[in-house]
Amino acid sequence: MAIITLSTDVGQQDYLVGAVKGQLLSQNENHNIVDITHYLSSTNYPQAAYICSSAFKHFPPQTFHIIILNSFDTNLKHVLVARHNEQYIICPDNGILTMIIGSRPKEVAKLALVENNSLLARTAVIAKAITYISKNTSFFSSTDTTVSIIEKYPLKPNIDLDSIEGQILFIDNFENVVINISKEQFEEHRRGRSFVILISRNDEITTISDNYASVSEGDYLAWFNSAGYLEVSMNKGKIASLFGLQGYNENLSKLGRVSENKWFYHTIKIFFGV
**Are 125 and 92 within 8 A, CB to CB?**
no
Predicted pLDDT at 265: 57
For domain 158-272, which architecture applies?
Beta Barrel (2.40)
Tell me which residue of 86, 88, 240, 230 sits closest to 173, measured CA to CA: 240
Look at the pTM and tell me if it is higher than 0.85.
yes
Residue 123 to residues 32, 89, 117, Cα–Cα distance (Å): 16, 14, 10
Any idea what DSSP says for residue 138?
A: T
Report, as ranges of residue numbers, the positions in the chain whose pLDDT lies below 50: 251-264
pLDDT at residue 23, rounded to an integer? 97
The CATH class, in words, for 3-142 is alpha beta
For the chain, domain boundaries: 3-142, 158-272
According to the model, what pLDDT value does residue 73 have?
72
Question: What is the dihedral sign for C-alpha 142, 143, 145, 147?
Answer: positive
